[in-house]
Amino acid sequence: MNEMPYPPASHVIDAAQQGLAWMNRYTDPEPGEALRGLLAGYCGVPRQQLVLSPGSDVLLREVIHSFSHGRKVITASPSFFPTVQTARQFAPESLSIRLSPPDFDLNLELLLGVLDSPSLLIIDNPNNPTGAMLLDQHTVSAILEQSETLLVIDEAYYEFSGLTFAAMVPDHARLLVIRTMDKAFSLAGARIGYGVAGEAFLDDLSLFGAFLPQASLRAALAALEQPGYMRENVRRVVEERRQVGQALARLGVRVYPSCTNFLLVRTEAADLAARLSEAGVLVSEVSNQLPRGFLRITIGTPEENDTFVAALARELSDRSP
């Protein structure tokens, strides 16, 4: 599930436990406003452009529900699968722009060609499950020049990629950048998502997520007040990602470049995800969007990663000619 393998810092856990004492009460506005302020400073944007949500996936679904009327919804393929599912289920019209291996690039000319009518374009950057960066400054600027296009950029893995377009939001009304504290901040169980929203999005999203749980809010506030713990964990995961990639390459597995906390790999071995599960190792088999043989590997602790590599080596060795 691409979670951070390291638990929150002790002071974050303490803050969450303090919030549990108030579970019989709805959340006052003050903690939410304090969180918006900290997130605004973290993103370098005005406070009024921050919206909160119980998870970034929930915010993405809300955007599709609110803004797909009279617009076609466009996603990349592959992409964050819950977004694709929601678009297919609820959007009057949806289509996907194919990202083809081995590079999984986004074809800008093809994309601009389908932005010929009112559109809601949702791009995850970095992409899930490929780990590739799909957008750069030139691409985003070209998309925003299309006057009938709303652009949503899902930056769930921003802390691992280091690239964001949040600073463009104040000058671009039709841009929404969505992020989460699930991943890098070790708060997947707290479900704190947020968006940096341009003016075209703000009215519909301004009250969304107003009553987040007490414990989640307090944990998020504590994590943002001391972000050094998060940054060190990100550094550790990135280093482990490098080492796991090298180990897999030595086993003859195709490893794709990643700017996230996971790796996309490909092997000719059949039913590998199921066989690894039998060995006690869980990986994501992504044939619902990619051809057979692709796996998405979450980077864990060094011990977890060693266990995975050893299990994979045994499976490949057992089935070698």
Segments making up each domain of the chain, as ranges: 10-226, 229-318
What pLDDT sits at residue 226? 95
CATH class of the domain comprising 229-318: alpha beta
What pLDDT sits at residue 206? 80
What pLDDT sits at residue 65? 94
Structure tokens at 72: 């076609």
What pLDDT sits at residue 211? 77
What pLDDT sits at residue 277? 96
Q: With a cut of 50, which residues of the chain have pLDDT below it?
A: none
What pLDDT sits at residue 73? 97
197 in Cβ contact with 176 (< 8 Å): yes
Q: Chain centroid to CA 105: how far?
A: 18
What pLDDT sits at residue 55? 93
In sequence order, the β-bridge partners of residue 265 are 255, 295
Name the CATH code of domain 10-226 (choices 1.10.3720.10, 3.40.640.10, 3.90.1150.170, 3.30.930.10).
3.40.640.10
* Phi, psi for 188 (deg, rounded to 5): -60, -35
